[in-house]
């Protein structure tokens, strides 16, 4: 086997990080990288082994990987992860935890290499068909993709498992077998053990033909990306919110294509066709004074003033309360909202009296007069005039003296909180980046 599949993806001085499970596929890829490194002395290779803790053999697998890497003089590190299968199921949850851990460990300029092969690609396509996926899902796994500032490469994607087994036998490689691979309750194992052998007996080139179909779907999606990029950019602002009214004048196909790409840009998973219809019917087309929302796993889709927002799901802070005992110290806010800092050099707020404590809450009700505005307003009207979406209002720290609302730092000051005679202080909200 030549190294053309590596040379086509990697420069001679590439910095490679292999996701090394210790199974057949990643063992073959690591051996190929080690062998190619002898011809390309500037190539850098290291390995990461993800320890999921799901098997009683997980510790021995980690030891095996460390020993192989030591034998081949490749740096290797074991990453321990926690897998939460309550939302997505064990397979998807383990995959997500694995990739998150791997990408977090990458240094600037490093590429992540994984060892999926031709038969894996076929299984991925069949699973996408089972889910009723569109062209993006049927494109299966790309051989090369950009993830943030890093490349994710799959050099073995055009090689069959049979070819990898032959290579391993030729070079007398040792690898581990995950006992869960024999459990056909998992969809991928069911396809691998019961379905694909039958298909390949009838059609020996079924996996290769499936890979061509996936590649054609990928080309279609890439073309759509290029054709829709300019329009999507025009509809999206710097905060990533989407101006949706123009979508309602388009065909359903074009509207769905733009929504899919916008959601992908925001970090969401590919929505189903039914979910896209719900976005149109229940969010974009709901009455003007409504506050509609849809939940998507860890995200929430909301609408405000003709814009769609893709947001991380957050717990309500409406009942949360803090006391700021010492203004010389920063006050840390919950839910990664940052900190409050007191600046004594700017006289914006009056000092509290001796019998007033400084409290921070995240909800207000009632009628208020704001500094710089004539007359008073209900707090709901004030938020509307300030253009603050409803879900953000309970994530803004409000400073009270006892039960009296003083200010929302950086947003407004009430008449009751205003400084007089140039004596006072300023509360500064330093938000987490």
Q: Which residues are annotated as a binding site for ATP?
A: 21-26
Greatest Cα pair distance in the chain: 90
Give the Å distances, CA to CA, from 422 to 42, 208, 236, 350: 66, 78, 43, 9
Kind and range of the H or E element at 153? Answer: strand 150-153
- Residue 266: phi, psi to the nearest 5? -85, 0
Give the Å distances, CA to CA, from 172 to 222, 268, 341: 41, 43, 64
Torsion-angle region of residue 423: left (phi > 0), alpha (psi -120 to 50) or beta?
beta
Radius of gyration (C-alpha) of the chain in whole angstroms:
28
d(CA 376, CA 42): 70
d(CA 357, CA 404): 10
Per the document, the length of the chain is 433
CA angle in degrees (0–180, nearest 5) for 9-161-60: 95
d(CA 425, CA 346): 5
- What are 103's two structure tokens? 């990408």
8 A C-beta contact, residue 181 and residue 191: no
Output the known binding site: 21-26
- Residue 309: phi, psi to the nearest 5? -120, 130
d(CA 311, CA 304): 12
d(CA 379, CA 382): 5
Give residue for tokens 């992860």: 81
8 A C-beta contact, residue 98 and residue 50: yes
Give residue for tokens 């006050």: 331
Residue partners of 302: CB distance under 8 A and separation at least 6: 283, 291, 292, 293, 308, 309, 311, 389, 391
Coil, strand or helix at 238 = coil
**Residue 124 CB neighbour total at 10 angstroms:** 21
């Amino acid at each position: 086997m030549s190294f053309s599949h590596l040379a086509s993806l990697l420069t001679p001085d590439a910095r490679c990080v292999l996701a090394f499970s210790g199974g057949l596929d990643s063992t073959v890829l690591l051996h190929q990288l080690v062998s190619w490194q002898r011809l390309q002395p500037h190539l850098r290779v290291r390995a990461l082994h993800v320890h999921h803790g799901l098997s009683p053999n997980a510790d021995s697998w980690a030891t095996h990987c460390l020993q192989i890497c030591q034998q081949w003089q490749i740096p290797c590190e074991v990453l321990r992860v926690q897998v939460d299968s309550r939302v997505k199921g064990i397979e998807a949850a383990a995959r997500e935890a694995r990739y998150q851990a791997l990408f977090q460990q990458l240094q600037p300029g490093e590429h992540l290499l994984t060892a999926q092969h031709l038969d894996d690609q076929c299984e991925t396509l069949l699973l996408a068909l089972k889910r009723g996926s569109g062209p993006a899902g049927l494109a299966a796994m790309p051989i090369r993709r950009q993830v943030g500032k890093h490349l994710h490469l799959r050099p073995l994607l055009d090689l069959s498992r049979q070819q990898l087994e032959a290579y391993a036998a030729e070079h007398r490689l040792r690898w581990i077998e995950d006992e869960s691979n024999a459990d056909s309750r998992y969809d991928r194992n069911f396809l691998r053990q019961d379905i694909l052998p039958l298909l390949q007996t009838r059609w020996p080139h079924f996996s290769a033909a499936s890979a061509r179909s996936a590649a054609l779907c990928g080309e279609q999606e890439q073309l759509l990306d290029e054709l829709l990029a300019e329009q999507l950019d025009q509809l999206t602002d710097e905060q990533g919110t989407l101006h949706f009214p123009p979508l309602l004048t388009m065909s359903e196909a074009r509207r769905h294509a733009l929504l899919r790409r916008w959601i992908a840009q925001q970090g969401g998973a590919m929505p189903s066709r039914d979910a896209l219809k719900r976005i149109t019917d229940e969010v974009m087309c709901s009455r003007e004074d409504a506050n509609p929302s849809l939940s998507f796993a860890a995200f929430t889709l909301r609408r405000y003033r003709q814009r769609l927002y893709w947001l991380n799901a957050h717990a309500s802070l409406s009942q949360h309360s803090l006391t700021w005992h010492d203004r010389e110290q920063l006050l840390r806010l919950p839910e990664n909202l940052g900190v409050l800092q007191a600046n004594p050099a700017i006289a914006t707020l009056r000092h509290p009296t001796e019998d007033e404590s400084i409290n921070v809450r995240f909800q207000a009700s009632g009628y208020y007069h704001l500094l710089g505005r004539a007359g008073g307003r209900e707090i709901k009207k004030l938020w509307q005039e300030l253009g603050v979406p409803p879900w953000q209002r309970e994530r803004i720290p409000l400073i009270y003296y006892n039960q009296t609302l003083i200010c929302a730092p950086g947003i407004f000051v009430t008449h009751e909180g205003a400084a007089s005679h140039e004596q006072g202080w300023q509360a500064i909200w330093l938000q987490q980046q």
